[in-house]
Structure 1
Amino acid sequence: MRSTNTFSILFFVNKKKKNDDQALLYARITVDGKRVNLSLKRKIDISLWDATKKRARGSSSEARQINLYLDQTHTQLFQCYQDLKFKGELITAQLIKASYGGELETSKTLQELIDYHTRKIESTLAPGTIINFGITENYIKRFLKTSLKTTDVFLKQLDYKFICDFETFLHKYWPKGHPKAMNHNTVMKHLQRLRKMV
C-alpha cells in the first residue's frame, strides 16, 4: 500500500453562482489526482479576487480579512491531512473534507451511538436483553448528567478515565427500590454492555 500521497489545496471563486458581483469562495482539495470542492460559506466581490495568486488583491480591510481566513482554512485542512497521515489511515480528498467538517467517526457522540445501537437491536435480541441494555443506557445518561454535568460526550472522550469514573459511579450508585448498592458482577455487566455498544 502506498505510504505517500500527493496533496494540494487550491482556493477559487465560483462565478457561476455569483449574485450582484459577489461570488462564493471554495477550496479544492486534491489527493492523488482525485478532488473535492468545499464551500467556505463566504462571499467575495469578484473584482477583489486575484485568480493568479488565489487570494484577495489589495490591502483593504476586507481583503486582509479574507486572506487571513484563507490562511486559517489552509492550515486547518493541512492539519486534517496530517492527522490522517499520523494515524496511518486511508487518505482521500473526501475524508479530509469530512474531517474538516467534523463528519468523521471521531466527531460522533455517545448519545448518537446509543441511539444507533437501540435501533440496531430492536429486532435482533430477546426482549429481556433489550431491557437490560435500556437500563445500562439510563445509567450512562445519569452518569453524564450527575458526574460530568453534561448530556453527551464525543466518542473520542471515551478513554480509560471515563470508564474508571463510570465504574466508580456505578459502585456508589444505589438504585431506587433496591435493598443495597450494585454488587461487583452487576457493575461489570453494565460495563460489558457499554463495551458492546462501542
Structure 2
Amino acid sequence: MRTEATFSVDFVMRKKESDPHRGYIYARITVDGDIKELSLKEEVSSESWIPGSECLKGRAAEVQKINNYIEDVRSKIRQKYRELQDSGKRMSADLVKQA
C-alpha cells in the first residue's frame, strides 16, 4: 500500500531586527514534517500582514502586486510538488525547494 506524503505551503513574515515594523515574506514548505523556507525577497510593513490569510491587507497597487506574487509562488510550488510526485521520487521539503 502506497502512502502519500503530507505536504503544505504556508507564507510567514519574519520581522527585521533593525526595524520591527518591517519584515520579509517567506514561503514555508513542509513535507512529512520536514520544513524548508524560501525567501520571496519582499519587504513589507508588519502592520499590513495578515497571518491567518497569509497576505497583505489593503487595496493599493503595490499590495495587490505582492498578494498576486504570493499566490503565483504558492501555485508554482504546488505544481512542482505534483511533478515530483508523478515522477515517483522520494519526497522531501528540500527536493521541492530545489525544484
Judge same fold: TM > 0.5, yes or no: yes
**Structure 1 segment 1-198 matched on structure 2, within 5 A:** 2-17=2-17, 19=19, 21-99=21-99
Say which structure, 1 or 2, has more relative contact order (CA 8 Å, 6+ apart): 2
Partner deviation per Cα, 1:128-180 (whole Å, 9 max, x = no partner): xxxxxxxxxxxxxxxxxxxxxxxxxxxxxxxxxxxxxxxxxxxxxxxxxxxxx
Q: Secondary structure at the match of 1:47?
A: coil
Percent of paired sites with the same residue:
33
The structure with the largest strand share of the pair is: 2
The gaps in structure 1 that reach 5 residues or longer are 100-198
CA distance in 2, matches of 1:40, 1:3: 31
CA contact (8 A) 1:17 1:24 kept: no
The gaps in structure 2 that reach 5 residues or longer are none
Normalized against structure 2, the TM-score is what? 0.89
1:76–1:17 CA distance, 2 compared to 1 (3 A): farther
Amino acid at match of 1:54: E
Query: Whose Rg is larger?
Result: 1
* Count of aligned pairs: 99
CA contact (8 A) 1:25 1:40 kept: yes
Task: Output the aligned Cα RMSD.
Answer: 1.7
CA distance in 2, matches of 1:20, 1:97: 28
